Structure 1
Amino acid sequence: MSMVSTKHFHPDTDGKLRCTCGCGQYHVKQHALDQLQQVRDVLNRPLTVTSGYRCERHPEERCKPVPGQHNKGVAFDVAIVGGAQRYEVIKAGLQCGATGIGVAKTFVHLDWRDGVPMAWEY
């Protein structure tokens, strides 16, 4: 079985796509990574993923009552610098069908969840 990847995102070169708790697991869904690739294509510049897949033992997931979208393999945190980049990533995410958007000072969370679309701030 081939590894889920796109033209610009691959777990062997983008270490943060894998779980960073030390287990190194990688269960990203192809459709979500394809959408992230579309975001990159729309922006026409590289994106830095600061968090991709997270196993249930990852510290961020253990704090939650139910594992979240990162654990489902459909979420990525994208590094940003400043308000203009934040806006561009949010706009591109929406153009590319993101249904979960979280806004933080240094990153934008994009996910392609099932169910009710959500937006929040950290």
Structure 2
Amino acid sequence: MPIALTLINNANQAHSKTCQSSTTTASLEELGAASKNKLRIKATRFFVEGGEELSGGEPLVNGQLVLCSCGEAYIGAELRPPPMPAAAAPPLPPRASPTSKSESPMIASSVDFAVRVDRVFLPG
């Protein structure tokens, strides 16, 4: 029965692909072909989470992460925090409204400072 594996580039862990393995044991030739096809790298070493190097013949489980290395040492899989459910998300702070017309509202931008916006009246 085929199993699904997630292949991750050890040097650039943002680059990952899912593939299917026809066997439940680690075949270095099959992992090398899959990493060349999916990740476009010529991997020579393979690691599982925790840093254990695969030497061939180890059992693989469905959904396992396999880090593919071009010879460099194990860097380690980045731990992804579990997604926070919407109900457990912290509440948003209350919106501040200007107290008078002369006071301009502050608008947050994508950078770390705020921009003061003055009202402009156009004729017409």
TM-score (norm 2): 0.24
Higher helix share: 1
Higher strand share: 2
TM-score (norm 1): 0.25
